[in-house]
Structure 1
Amino acid sequence: MTSLYDFKLPALEGGEIDLSQWRGRPVLIVNTASECGFTKQYEGLQQLWREMGHSTPDGLIILGVPSNDFGQQEPGDSGQIKQFCQRRYGVSFPLAARSIVKGHAAIPLFQWLAKEGGFLSRPRWNFYKYLINREGHLQRWFTPLTPPHAPRLLEEIQRVSAQRR
């Protein structure tokens, strides 16, 4: 796989998310969990989605990838995850089906992210963030300690968003 656009993921609500549909748009990929100390970051991610995402045809895409890999903090099925995210945080950005994001069993997207970002970019907890540029390559990654409203994340999103193909 050579870029983000080469991947497809099962969608939380069934069907498939073909990442090639977002060609030319910046994408923020986040491995999420509903029972984590960082779960409140859903609120900030939804705010970013409202402010920078769906309102413009080339705006930021946010993709949540729920995972039960860290502390068994995403135990629910797709229906429970969807209900929690919508009811608690009003999440309307795309969510993939619950996936494995670490180790040899990680889904191909997260294997690619680990290759692009190097060893330290591999998620070691929930809410790692991966910013993909308009060309479909990893621009920068952030640990869960960087909330969605952190100036350094916002600055990097602005930088990527300002780039034109």
Structure 2
Amino acid sequence: MNQFKGLIYIIIFMISFFNTVNAEYEKIFFDFEIKDINEKTFALENFKNKAVLLVNVASNCGFTKQYSELQELYDKYSVKGLVVLGVPSNQFGGQEPGSNNEIKDFCETNFNITFPMTAKINVKGENAHPIYLWAKENYGNSAVPKWNFHKILINKDGKIEDTYSSFTKPMSKKLINKIEEIL
């Protein structure tokens, strides 16, 4: 009988590891502010009730060609409630050395970017912008960019839905399926 009780406790203990834990969000994405590429502060609450694909970007990276697919994604899904938000950062290989004006010109000239872009910020480390500190706190290390073009998908409730590495292309089935699911 004691072996049976022990087995039951072990099974219950093991099952507890399979349960997913939802973060207890004290703040949601829409509670933050950030400066846009023109250095004007705007509230992320402007994106309330929309899904947001937060992407740290760089002009001189091997993944820079993803700008084309990010624009394609924005063109296709913005009418359904998706915002692509480009976040320039120079933290990976110094691949975004330019000023905000230079970044804006590069994006508009080379990729006809029309989705919103922020001012250049830090996306990792203790000096990261508060939205990235929030993402790490609420979703763990998978929300911390490992390189340029890391993606964080925020759902309409302002919580992190999923994260995607730089290798996940914006028009990949994996990402599109998740976007369509939450829109």
TM bucket normalised to smaller: over 0.9
TM-score by length of 1: 0.93
Q: Give, in whole Å, the separation in 2 of the partners of 1:117 and 1:77.
A: 30
Q: 2:41 aligns with which of 9, 13, 16?
A: 16
Q: Give, in whole Å, the separation in 2 of the partners of 1:48 and 1:85.
A: 15
Q: Within 5 A, what are the aligned runs for 1:62-81? A: 62-81=84-103
Which runs of 4 or more aligned residues in structure 1 lie more than 6 Å from their structure 2 counterparts after TM superposition? none
Pick the structure with greater CA Rg: 2
Aligned to 1:5: 30
Q: Within 5 A, what are the aligned runs for 1:22-37? A: 22-37=47-62
Aligned to 1:88: 110
Aligned to 1:42: 67
Aligned to 2:12: none
Q: State, as a whole percentage, how many aligned pairs show the same letter.
A: 38
**Counterpart secondary structure, 1:105:** coil
Gapped runs of 5+ residues in structure 1? none
1:105 counterpart = 2:127: yes
Letter in 2 for 1:59: G
> Could you tell me whether the CA contact under 8 Å between 2:142 and 2:163 is conserved in 1?
no
TM-score by length of 2: 0.84
Instruction: Judging by fraction of residues, say which structure has more helix.
Output: 2
Gapped runs of 5+ residues in structure 2? 1-25
Aligned to 2:142: 120
Give the superposition deviation at 1:6.
Answer: 0.8
Q: Give, in whole Å, the separation in 2 of the partners of 1:9 and 1:98.
A: 10
